[in-house]
Copies of this chain bind each other. A is one copy, B any other.
Amino acid sequence: MGVTKTQNFTQEQNQVATYAKALAHPARIAILQYLLKKQTCICGDLVEELPLAQATVSQHLKELKAIGLIKGTVEGTSVCYCIDQHKWEEVRDVLLNLFSSPVACQDSCC
């Protein structure tokens, strides 16, 4: 059917999956890394940094904005993008919460 049965899973499971999906494309990772590296808002020159057309970059930015991981502020003819610190830490914590669980099953168990 191609439709994820979201309603049959817990809120936490859906949240982790939603955050992971936002990170599930190298272009979006590249955008986040660039925003982190520059230590400031990026106004404009994001398209030149990526090997994708302007429309495609805009679409990836839209997805990151949709979950609140980045925010854009109109600044003249261009738009300044920032990582949203609160959401950034929330996503980190949600992922960390899953991966903080120790793996009990050792090599010998099966």
A interface residues (Cβ-Cβ under 8 A, vs B)? 4-6, 8-10, 12-14, 16-17, 20-30, 32-33, 35-36, 39-41, 43, 51-52, 73, 75, 80, 82-85, 88-89, 91-92, 95-96, 98-99, 101, 103-107, 109-110
Contacts and interface: CB of A to CB of B under 8 A. Distances in A.
* Chain A at the B interface: SS class: helix
A107 B4 CA distance: 36
A4 B26 contact: yes
A52 B103 CA distance: 25
A110 B95 contact: no
Contacts of A35: 105
Contacts of A110: 41, 43, 73, 75, 80, 82
With most chain B CB atoms within 10 A of its CB, the pick from A52, A89, A99 is A99
Contacts of A91: 99
A40 B105 contact: yes
